[in-house]
Amino acid sequence: MSPISSASPATVVIFGASGDLTQRKLVPALHTLSCRQMLSPQTHVVGVARSEYTAEQFRERLYEGVVQYSRAEAGPANVCQLWPSFAQNYTYMPGDLSDVETYRRLGAHLNAIDEESDMQGNVLFYLAVPPVLYTTIVDRLGKAGINRSEAGWRRIIIEKPFGHDLESARGLNTEIHAVFDEDQVYRIDHYLGKETVQNIMSFRFANAIFEPIWNRNYIDHVQISVAEAVGVGHRAGYYEGAGVLRDMFQNHLLQLLALTALEPPVAFEAGALRDEKAKVLGAVSQINDTVRGQYREYRDEEGVDPHSDTPTYAALKLWVDNWRWRGVPFYLRSGKCLALRTTEIAIEFRCVPHLMFDIARREDITPDILSLCIQPNEGIQLRFQAKEPGAGMQTRPVRMEFHYAEHFGEGALPDAYERLLLDALKGDASLFARADEIELAWGLIDPVLAKWAGEAAPSLAFYESASWGPPEADQLLARDGRAWHQQCCNDSGIDG
């Protein structure tokens, strides 16, 4: 992240400030931005939560998080010297989040901060709370009259999940729009804050050699994989009501799909970019080919129903019915307790139309594959054919690789929350989901959820932990004469 400009003075109000998200992500991100002089020195943070912390206890908790999780060096040269000036702008206000009086007190506190530090009326509200509290907080902000300011701007960041289905997402949008205008609302998906996700656009639109072949004439199919090596852990209570489709597909995977498939925006600005993403989601046809799975130990996890049918794995085949992608299948998969933690977009190109070399079998020529490695081995890999040394024209697949760590140094990639918080403070909504995107995504996932809950649901396929999922997911591609590309971004070999 290049310090091109810093954000204007503002107060950041974090609801749910006593929780893990604040300690592990939000304040470490703000601290790193401050250390890199990307925040105004006047930036103030107000924590609001039920916990009866004193201001000093609150700062001590945040300091522990900064030391452990901040990307800025946590040694004496940094945190110990910079923290005192940073922490003096932190205040804490305990209160009942359902009581409008809490918000009236907050409004008076914001006015006092503004008078003392000239924040120009700018306030960013961050809802680091369970989704059940979203509408309560939004409603109370409106009733207290602090959702708008004549002097400056007021914005609100809302964490995922944004709704439980299409109906609840629409209802949530309606209730939010009763208090905040759409241009005040920033729906956060931390995947969009990852540098490697943003690099999809740089790779496509800043290089003349790739965009001309980014279409149905040259691409055979696209695979998008988000694999997790861990199980549900302490999230069983949430996961039982969500499952893998709500947890990963409706947001992360469909956002990756949209960025991979979108048309070039007229400019890299929020309106144009989000228009093109919405067009992709609107062009996806009904999803009929699906696999749902569950790792065998899931029902033994603490807090899980021993007869649970909640899917921990899913694989979907879908089509983007527009001029660019007509006839190109997109295969999406995600699951828990898989072989590796990895997020990857693999673009497999069509085979050459005529093979001139004297090779025994055409299938010995493997297709070219471009792998966009989102995490953990961030970078890009291109697999192509090269001649083996010696007589004849035998070929073998080889790789060209780019790794962020090698070219930009270890630790060069900022945490996603750094970028997203800074963008929200600067009023750039490019990397945040718009209301219509959310509803279009749910419109795609809802029919799959309904099918899985009905009599025509595909059988629940069980798979072993540390595998790549159930055999049925392999068959989803095998029926098309294709196969999943395993761990392309996690090894230095040449086999997909």
Known catalytic residues? 252
Distance between alpha carbon 367 and the CA centroid of its chain, in Å? 29
Backbone angles phi, psi at 461, to 5 degrees: -95, 125
Strand order across the beta sheet in which 379-387 lies: 395-403, 379-387, 369-375, 342-349, 219-227, 329-335, 313-319, 289-295, 461-463
Q: Which residues pair with 332 in a beta bridge?
A: 224, 316
CA separation for the pair 72, 63 (Å, rounded): 13
The 8-class DSSP code of residue 325 comes to T
The 8-class DSSP code of residue 176 comes to H
Q: How many Cβ atoms sit within 10 Å of the Cβ of residue 154?
A: 20
> Cα 474–475–477 angle (5° rounding)?
75
CA separation for the pair 59, 33 (Å, rounded): 18
**30, 39 in Cβ contact below 8 A?**
yes
CA separation for the pair 436, 495 (Å, rounded): 40
Helix (H) or strand (E) holding 400: strand 395-403
Which among 142, 484, 132 has a CA at the least distance from the CA of 342?
A: 484
> Strands, DSSP E only, in 90-183?
90-94, 123-127, 154-158
Amino acid at 175: E
The 8-class DSSP code of residue 157 comes to E
The 8-class DSSP code of residue 159 comes to P
CA distances from 179 to 135, 155, 156, 493 (A): 10, 11, 11, 54
The 8-class DSSP code of residue 320 comes to B
Q: How many Cβ atoms sit within 10 Å of the Cβ of residue 60?
A: 12
Cβ density class 360-379: b for 16+ within 10 Å, e for less: eeeeebbbbbbbbbbbebbb
The 8-class DSSP code of residue 50 comes to S
Residue 74 CB partners (closer than 8 Å, separation 6+): 66, 67, 68
Structure tokens at 18: 């006593």
CA separation for the pair 89, 219 (Å, rounded): 53
CA distances from 83 to 36, 37, 411, 434 (A): 13, 14, 21, 35
